[in-house]
Amino acid sequence: MNNNQANCPSYDNIGFQHEEERRPPSYAPQPGLYPQLPQATPSYVAVTSNTINTHHTVIPGTLQSTGQKKGIKKCHWRQILCASLCVLLILAAVGVLLWYFLYYECLLGKSCTTGGKCLSPSQWCDGVLDCTHGEDESQCFRLQGTDFMLESYSSESQMWRPVCAENWDNNYGRAVCEQMGYNRQDYVSYTQISAGSLASKGYMKLKPGTNHGSRIQSQLTYSQSCSVRAVKLNCIACGQSSAAPSTRIVGGTEAASGAWPWQVSLQIRGQHICGGSIISPYWILSAAHCFQTYSTPGMWMVYSGGVSLLEMSFSTGKTVNKIISHKKFDRKTNDNDIALLKLSTPLTFTRTVKPVCLPNIGVDLSAEHQAWITGWGALRSSGPSPDKLNQAQVTIYSRETCNTPSVLNGEITETMICAGKMQGGVDSCQGDSGGPLVVKEGDVWWLAGDTSWGIGCGQRRKPGVYGNVTYFIEWIYNQMQNE
């Protein structure tokens, strides 16, 4: 790809184009950069709707007093009216208090997503299914940092704490990984690791006499100390490349076989439409805009393990069983541009077919980190697409930088990341949509973004825009758990 293109926005995928003005389709975020989901309590609504570039007109209501003094004979009615207004005000105050405690408080993470059932904080992650769909017990474990340290949510203190490895074994590890959304057969192992500064919070430790038959969170209790170390848990062997990247995508180079084993080609009738990333044998992460026109799973085939589209066409692709696009994807702003594909049959992992790691809490993917983008997209805006997978190194920029008027002028929301080169010449382009933006930390590769949109391809001060995978991490795990 090169940077010879027009100054109008265009799309990153050739399969779907809404409006002719934009190019769409190119965790934990650090304070002041990309927003981080609340960590004090588990959140079961992963994303809130945001609207950009729209104008809201607020029409203020008017309070008009129509009462007039009519003389002494009307005092009786004024007293009745005043008493009535006092009663109404009291009822309104009671209503507001009821709304606050029964509705607003539940929005803070204490209500079931269906049925409106409000639960006390102590009912979350207590091992008892109180919500119809079990969401109160669905986000009770998470992995911390590049060391994959296991943390459990305490329903008593409403805090995340490291899990003590006392009496822990691989059966508990498999159960936790399966509860998080991974398949038992993908489980790798557990080891022990120092909790470091997090040990000051205390630990969640298995109760005496526990067994493997019930939910793990009901078998954990708070302990100030741990006689061994914390649990390090590997649910899946992810983020391992079989070849080092060389360094051009726009301004990139052809990729070596095995360098990006999570990259897939999403095709319709033998034509490459979008990219995607392997996150488990059954799951591919891509961009929602790829599936707005072509939303039937049976239309799509997933090809993996190669760098040449021609060579992969002779292999057998995987059929798609289900497409889950984010319900709050906005076609106009490209907010919430993320989707998951569930395959009909699982991928077999090899040297050239491997998953990328989903971001753990505390993994630094913030601004100024160097990242890599890959894809079979056009080599220039509206130009030809290559047969070989291309790669390029880019810089992640802060949302503040991206939203300056001379760059992307306020269009980057909390569901997005922008990355590229301010001098231009390196970018994703049409056909790269849904593909990975990855960062290497702690010797593994993390999926920071999915290619979403941009203005042209490789233009100066117009970096590409990617879905912020960290922002969506709970949404991703929820889909994996529920399917």
pLDDT values of the chain reduced to their tens digit, one per residue, 483 residues: 433 343 444 444 444 344 433 444 433 343 334 333 334 334 333 333 333 332 322 223 322 333 333 333 444 677 777 777 878 888 877 766 665 555 545 555 567 776 667 877 778 888 888 888 888 888 899 999 999 999 999 988 889 999 999 999 999 999 999 999 999 999 999 999 999 999 998 999 999 877 776 689 989 999 999 999 999 999 999 999 988 776 545 677 899 999 999 999 999 999 999 999 999 999 999 999 999 999 999 999 999 999 999 999 999 999 999 999 999 999 999 999 999 999 999 999 999 999 999 999 999 998 889 999 999 999 888 788 999 999 999 999 999 999 999 999 999 999 999 999 999 999 899 899 999 999 999 999 999 999 999 999 999 999 999 999 999 999 999 999 987
Computed from CA positions of residues 161, 162, 163, 165, in that sequence, does the dihedral angle turn out positive or negative? negative
443 belongs to a structural domain: no
CA 34 to chain centre: 12
266 belongs to a structural domain: yes
CA distance 204 to 149: 13
Looking at the structure, do residues 141 and 218 belong to the same domain, yes or no?
yes
Looking at the structure, do residues 221 and 278 belong to the same domain, yes or no?
no
Q: Residues 102-116, buried b or exposed e (16+ Cβ, 10 A)? A: eeeeeeebbbbeeee
| CATH number for the domain that contains residue 283 | 2.40.10.10
Using alpha carbons, select from 299, 302, 250, 313 the residue that is nearest to residue 276. Answer: 302
Which amino acid does the sequence have at 173? G
- Asked if residue 24 lies in contact with residue 333, where contact means CB atoms within 8 angstroms, the answer is no
Looking at the structure, do residues 192 and 276 belong to the same domain, yes or no?
no
Q: What is the pLDDT of residue 130?
A: 82
CA distance 88 to 107: 27
Domain boundary among 317, 343, 369: 343
For residue 9, what are its two tokens?
């926005």
Q: How many domains does the chain have?
A: 2
For the chain, state the CA radius of gyration.
26
CA 175 to chain centre: 23
CA angle 12, 417, 113 (to 5 degrees): 100
Using alpha carbons, select from 195, 220, 216, 219 the residue that is nearest to residue 205. Answer: 220
270 belongs to a structural domain: yes
227 belongs to a structural domain: yes
371 belongs to a structural domain: no
Strand ranges, E, within 253-384: 253-254, 263-268, 271-278, 283-286, 300-304, 318-325, 339-343, 370-375
Looking at the structure, do residues 217 and 152 belong to the same domain, yes or no?
yes
CA distance 39 to 138: 15
292 belongs to a structural domain: yes
Residue 186 to residues 7, 189, 262, 347, Cα–Cα distance (Å) = 46, 10, 16, 11
Instruction: Name every residue whose Cβ is closer than 8 Å to that of residue 47 and which is 6 or more positions away in sequence.
Output: 326, 328, 336, 415, 471, 472, 475
Which pairing describes strands 390-397 and 416-420: parallel, antiparallel, or unpaired? Answer: antiparallel
CA distance 420 to 441: 19
- Asked if residue 139 lies in contact with residue 477, where contact means CB atoms within 8 angstroms, the answer is yes
Domain boundary among 234, 251, 269: 234
| CATH number for the domain that contains residue 211 | 3.10.250.10
Q: Residues 160-181, buried b or exposed e (16+ Cβ, 10 A)? A: bbbbbbeebeeebbbbbbbbbb
Q: What is the pLDDT of residue 76?
A: 66
CA 339 to chain centre: 10
114 belongs to a structural domain: no
Which amino acid does the sequence have at 474? E
Q: What is the pLDDT of residue 167?
A: 94
Instruction: Give burial (CB, 10 Å; 0-12/13-18/19+) of 308.
Output: middle
Stated as kind and residue range, the H or E segment containing 66 is none
SS3 200: helix
CB atoms within 10 A of CB 481: 18
- Give the structural domain span for 306: 261-343
- DSSP state at residue 62: -
Which pairing describes strands 390-397 and 370-375: parallel, antiparallel, or unpaired? Answer: antiparallel
Looking at the structure, do residues 268 and 328 belong to the same domain, yes or no?
yes
Looking at the structure, do residues 150 and 219 belong to the same domain, yes or no?
yes
- Asked if residue 419 lies in contact with residue 372, where contact means CB atoms within 8 angstroms, the answer is no
For residue 436, what are its two tokens?
């990975």
Domain boundary among 343, 370, 389: 343
CB atoms within 10 A of CB 409: 12
Looking at the structure, do residues 143 and 227 belong to the same domain, yes or no?
yes
Task: Give the catalytic positions in this structure.
Answer: 289, 337, 433
276 belongs to a structural domain: yes
